[in-house]
Amino acid sequence: MVFQQFNLFPHLTVLENCTLAQTLVSRKPQPEFFFLERYMRAYSAEWAAFVDAVNSGSALPVTLDDGVNALAVAEAATRSAKSGQTVSLASI
């Protein structure tokens, strides 16, 4: 398994490491409910769980199936928004 090299700062929390780049390079105002502000606690908890699993050699808390299912929900939501109709997950 190959992991991207992450240059994290050990004196910062997972949350601070996740938002550092946005804080340093963002020159445009973000929308009021930008992803990181809206979901920061969940996002940083997922990263912390991932790092803990990798460091301890335990199973990852989120599986490939979880990701595929989330993409199916997003696709159904997009189709529904475009068509104005209900979209069944079974059709995705």
Instruction: Check residue 41 and give its pLDDT.
Output: 83
State how far the alpha carbon of 3 is from the alpha carbons of 6, 7, 43, 47, 51, in Å: 9, 12, 18, 13, 11
Helices 35-56, 14-25: inter-axial angle, 10-degree rounding: 140
Instruction: Check residue 34 and give its pLDDT.
Output: 67
Question: Is-above-0.75 flag for pTM?
Answer: no
* Averaged pLDDT, groups of 10, the chain, 92 residues long: 61 74 64 68 86 91 90 93 93 88
Q: Kindly list the domain boundaries of the chain, sorted by start residue.
A: 11-61, 62-92
Instruction: Check residue 1 and give its pLDDT.
Output: 44
According to DSSP, residue 91 is labeled G
Instruction: Check residue 2 and give its pLDDT.
Output: 45
